[in-house]
Structure 1
Amino acid sequence: MEESMIIAAQMLLSILLGALFIVIAYVFDASISRPRRLRSGIVKQGIRGPVPSILYGNIPEIKRITESLKPMEKRSPDKMVHDWFPAVFPHLEQWRNEYGATFLYSTGAIQLLCVTDAEMVKEMILCTSLNLGKPSYLSTERGPLLGRGILSSNGPYWAYQRKIIAPEFYLERVKGMVSLMVESTAAMLKSWETKAEDSGGKVEITVDEDFRSLSADIISRACFGRNYVPGGKICSMLQSLQRVMSRGNIGVPGMRHLPTKHNRELWRLERDIDSMILDAVKRRSSDDDGDKKDLLQLLLAAAENDGDDSSKIPADMTTNKFIVDNCKNIYLAGHETTAISASWCLMMLAAHPDWQARARGEVLAICGTNTPTADVLHNMKVLNMVIQETLRLYPPVAYVVREALQDIHFKGLNIGRGANIQVPIPRMHQDRELWGPDAHEFKPERFGNGVSGACKIPQAYMPFGFGSRSCAGQHFAMAELKVILSLILSKFRWSLSPAYHHSPVFRLAIQPQHGVSILLEKL
């Protein structure tokens, strides 16, 4: 009996040791061997870059380069310079100067091929292969924020989500949402008018939080109904989650699973946001809106579809997870980026009163004393140029990143499966070879004949991403920006407050670090 127990114990120990060996071998391959193979395959083709450490890649060097720049930033804090990319992403600028327009670096185990070569970027944009998809780290490292929603998924599951969500943002559908954009914006401007009157006609306002609240209200009402989703609070918590996540390091093997203070804060915010969305879904399910179908109802219907089509929801996804992930994606894409862009537009018009006057004249000529409608928005050519130029100089999204889901080739370069191709949007948007010697200046007139007339390679303009994975809500975002700006122009004039400190910063989006403070005067 004792002998059989000893044999059983030995067998169990052997199984455990074997399992441990398999786990160690898997971790070693995922965190060391595979990244080295990927890197070696690219380096052998002549692509260079900083040498990474084993576990952290080039993260320590990125921190060192960024820290060394801080004293330089403090020398002229009030000077408005639109060539801000070298200050916000100094490591990318330094490595580009040192290694060329295409170089290789890593964050932990993630291998990033940074591409600023315009011809190679054009080739990527025109690529329709399904072998080029969203990076896997978006649904793992950025999982609390994005999960496996439309912004981070790939393949048939992404196509299924796009099929549900994209039609809600087609141009014809967006036209039907303009009236509620006007209604929400008018309510915000009423509060601004009251503040101005109470201050004798002129008041100082920091617009960022107002725009966030406005954008949250618009996206909630447009996509999720009017009275049941606590959109403002969800968006505020997503902003907090985004801010906490921007402080972390992506790609360090196993780090996201450790119960560090940073991770515990992420997990808490994720639980709270998920709970709020599910509570809203529960209330939405009990609402009776007749035949009206909003986006949340379409997501609910898709989640309840039990068909066995493999292009639908994967077997390992719960109904709640499908709904929560896509709600977070839509809120994030439809709220934060639009609010930030509206702040940058107001800042640029404050800094350039001649363009503010031109845009106001156009709005008043087209709308008079009436509020803008969907039919007149497309006639606002000057305002459209202002928005396009602002998005060129201050794109809310810093990178377009694609992962090679299979081996792929661009401009004669073989890129192995698992490598990430990163295109820094601000660097492409201010490349003098593409935009001319005035690339760092605010000149909306460059868009007078559209993007094709503004840039040598029109594909290099990508404020909404590129290709089949471009932002599904870009018509919605442009309409919202035009409504907000046209209504403000028709009621106020403004200038930059002396308190304004121009300091773009990257917090998973390009935003004004200290907000946009303006002196607002009622017309």
Structure 2
Amino acid sequence: MLRSSAIRALLIRDLPNLSKQNTLILPKCYSVSASAATATADSDTSYQTVEYANAKPYDSIPGPPAYPIIGNAWRFIGGVDFLKICKEMQTNYGDVVRMRKMVAFGDMTFVFNTRDMEYMLRNEGQWPQRENLKSSMYYRHVVRKDIFGDTHGLLNGQDEKWGTFRTAVNPIMMQPRVTHQYIPQINEIADEFIGLVKNLKAKDPNGEMPANFIDQLNKWAFESITAIALDYRLGVLAEKPSERAEKAMNYILDIFRLSLKLDIMVTGHFHRKFNSPSWRQFIKCSDFFTNMTLDLIEEAKHRIENDPNYAKKSENEKSVFEKLVAKDKQVAMVMILDMMQAGIDTTSRISGATLYYLARYPNAQEKLRAELKRLLPKKDSPITKETLDEAKYLRACIKESLRLAPITFGTLRIMTKDIVLGGYQIPKGSIVTLPNLYLSKSVDTHFSNPSAYIPERWLRGVKTENVNAFVTLPFGFGARSCIGKRMASMEIEVVIAKMVRNFIMEWKHKEMGFKQDMLYGIADPLKIRLSDASD
């Protein structure tokens, strides 16, 4: 816990330069007299760095020893048990642990205390920074600089360039009415997915989904996000997809697979340096999506220019794609590609985990089905905004799945200024990781029976947990939170509702394994057994 004198000193340091970028925001547990701080600051500015100067040095942060050359990276190679590693770190070294020499990332500091987590995130500045995907950056700003120029986007941008881009796209992506506009289309795509599932069910004598069922969820997620981002149905859920749809599906999966090798693995930069087959395939896949997006943007511009009714459309009637194209061609290009890169593997993993937990916990599944029968009298009843507003237990089920199986193990930030966490100096430029998955799934001080799937934790009026909101952050926090979280939540809610309304799901296998690669998620085949639900 930081002493009140230390907090006062840090507040004093920031008072002379108060702005949206560097204003210090304190958690509710801290209380500082503003008048006293102002008086001290006015009389003596020598106290501006007292709190940081008096903190323990960065080099004194405890942590596991690093071996020559490989450092601590070996701990995260192969079938790594991230939860076990975090438990060992916290048990052996405390609430602030420095993992030295992580090779691709350098040194990394893990913070396990929720007070320090909240303090860090509330004071990360106007333009929070995180690690970007270097392969994507290199492709856009070296290989295809002729197209992308200096437009960095949301996934890879930093500093003011990132802030300018986020400001431009926020009004288009973050308003609830924009999400509601797509419910009918996402409903239609989910119906197509249910048809695909029925065909798969009919092929197995026990009604069990095939070992590659997660690939079918990837198809659903891909069709959904391209319908939103491009105003275009690729048709990957069709019984016989077109050649372009097949190629698009295969190439997007290649990009996910190759990004792990190029951006996360220790040898990633060698692929670019020596133009390896993996790097050449990454370029080929990226070129395909860049060119496809350019073609669709040109088609949309032509359609808009030649549509006499377009001018009559209100701003609320225009699609995300139309608004992006109207704003700026490069902004549209980068935002669309970011949406496709970030909106497929993520939503399919979350949906897959939710289906698994509902199959494994039949009581929760039946409670959800009862809610959905009330809201959807028939199996094929259309899902509307009103349906989703009323589906409280559905949202609780998904939120509980996100607690147990978020798409990443935590929140990573690059410090934009010097800060003190747990009594230690954390210099500007340091990488800090908040291990949310470990805290929400394995530590019983935050959730009772944390490994169990209990959606009731999230129901208002029923919830008994007193949880710090910073323990579980599935869509991030603050300025750098996921811009597509409303869209993603809506897509997941619709497809889970359709699945539970149509099928009784059972899990007849050993407990599902989970792993971290590029993202966190299920590691074993999603072989859910299905039978028809009653009308």
Deviation at 1:365, TM superposition (A): 0.6
1:393 is aligned to 404
CA distance in 2, matches of 1:222, 1:300: 13
Contact 2:58 / 2:427 at 8 angstroms: preserved in 1?
A: no
Q: Structure 1 residue 155 and structure 2 residue 159: aligned?
A: yes
Q: Structure 1 residue 268 and structure 2 residue 281: aligned?
A: yes
Among candidates 508, 515, 520, match of residue 518 of structure 2: 508
Contact 1:203 / 1:519 at 8 angstroms: preserved in 2?
A: yes
Structure 2 counterpart SS, 1:129:
coil
Structure 2 counterpart SS, 1:517:
coil
Determine what percentage of the aligned residue pairs are the same residue.
Answer: 16
Structure 1 counterpart SS, 2:432:
strand
Cα distance, 1:501–1:259 mapped onto 2, change above 3 Å = farther
Letter aligned with residue 231 of structure 2: G
1:361 is aligned to 370
Contact 1:340 / 1:511 at 8 angstroms: preserved in 2?
A: yes
Root-mean-square deviation over aligned CA pairs: 3.2
Cα distance, 1:495–1:507 mapped onto 2, change above 3 Å = same
CA distance in 2, matches of 1:255, 1:54: 20
1:27 is aligned to none
CA distance in 2, matches of 1:299, 1:440: 42
Contact 2:405 / 2:437 at 8 angstroms: preserved in 1?
A: yes
Q: Structure 1 residue 107 and structure 2 residue 102: aligned?
A: yes
Among candidates 299, 307, 317, match of residue 286 of structure 1: 299
Cα distance, 1:339–1:472 mapped onto 2, change above 3 Å = same
2:115 is aligned to 119
Cα distance, 1:134–1:235 mapped onto 2, change above 3 Å = farther
Contact 1:400 / 1:425 at 8 angstroms: preserved in 2?
A: yes
Contact 1:193 / 1:522 at 8 angstroms: preserved in 2?
A: no
Structure 2 counterpart SS, 1:246:
helix
Contact 1:497 / 1:519 at 8 angstroms: preserved in 2?
A: yes
Deviation at 1:510, TM superposition (A): 1.1
Deviation at 1:158, TM superposition (A): 1.6
Q: Deviations over 1:299-320 (max 9, x none)?
A: 444445xxxxxxxxxxxxxx4x
CA distance in 2, matches of 1:211, 1:116: 34
CA distance in 1, matches of 2:164, 2:461: 32
Contact 2:504 / 2:531 at 8 angstroms: preserved in 1?
A: yes
Matches within 5 A, 1:277-426: 277-287=290-300, 288-289=303-304, 290=307, 291=310, 293-304=318-329, 319=330, 325-369=334-378, 370-426=381-437
Structure 2: 5+ residue runs without aligned partners?
1-54, 142-151, 236-243, 311-316
Cα distance, 1:454–1:247 mapped onto 2, change above 3 Å = farther
Structure 1 counterpart SS, 2:256:
helix
Letter aligned with residue 106 of structure 2: I
Deviation at 1:346, TM superposition (A): 0.6
Deviation at 1:95, TM superposition (A): 2.6
Q: TM-score, normalised by structure 2?
A: 0.74
Contact 1:344 / 1:394 at 8 angstroms: preserved in 2?
A: yes
Among candidates 58, 62, 74, match of residue 48 of structure 1: 62
Letter aligned with residue 525 of structure 2: G
Among candidates 121, 134, 154, match of residue 140 of structure 1: 134
Cα distance, 1:121–1:210 mapped onto 2, change above 3 Å = same
Identify which of structures 1 and 2 has the higher relative contact order when contacts are C-alpha pairs closer than 8 Å and 6+ apart: 1
2:126 is aligned to 130
Shifted more, 427-436 versus 508-517: the winner is: 427-436
CA distance in 2, matches of 1:131, 1:95: 30
1:245 is aligned to 259
Cα distance, 1:141–1:283 mapped onto 2, change above 3 Å = closer
Contact 1:350 / 1:495 at 8 angstroms: preserved in 2?
A: yes
Contact 1:216 / 1:231 at 8 angstroms: preserved in 2?
A: no
Among candidates 196, 210, 215, match of residue 191 of structure 1: 196
Cα distance, 1:387–1:254 mapped onto 2, change above 3 Å = closer
Deviation at 1:226, TM superposition (A): 1.7
Contact 2:154 / 2:165 at 8 angstroms: preserved in 1?
A: yes
Q: Deviations over 1:321-379 (max 9, x none)?
A: x6554333211322111111110011001101111111011001112122211112021
Q: Structure 1 residue 430 and structure 2 residue 441: aligned?
A: yes
Letter aligned with residue 168 of structure 2: I
Structure 2 counterpart SS, 1:457:
coil
Q: Structure 1 residue 478 and structure 2 residue 489: aligned?
A: yes
Q: Deviations over 1:454-477 (max 9, x none)?
A: 343122120111122111111112
Q: Deviations over 1:373-432 (max 9, x none)?
A: 111202111111111111100011222111012323345432212111111221122253
Q: Deviations over 1:184-232 (max 9, x none)?
A: 0101112322444565783434431111101111111112112469677
CA distance in 2, matches of 1:431, 1:119: 18
Shifted more, 221-230 versus 121-130: the winner is: 221-230
Shifted more, 287-296 versus 324-333: the winner is: 287-296
Letter aligned with residue 102 of structure 2: T
CA distance in 2, matches of 1:62, 1:43: 27
Deviation at 1:516, TM superposition (A): 0.8
1:495 is aligned to 506
1:464 is aligned to 475
Q: Structure 1 residue 520 and structure 2 residue 491: aligned?
A: no
Structure 1 counterpart SS, 2:530:
strand
Contact 1:102 / 1:115 at 8 angstroms: preserved in 2?
A: yes
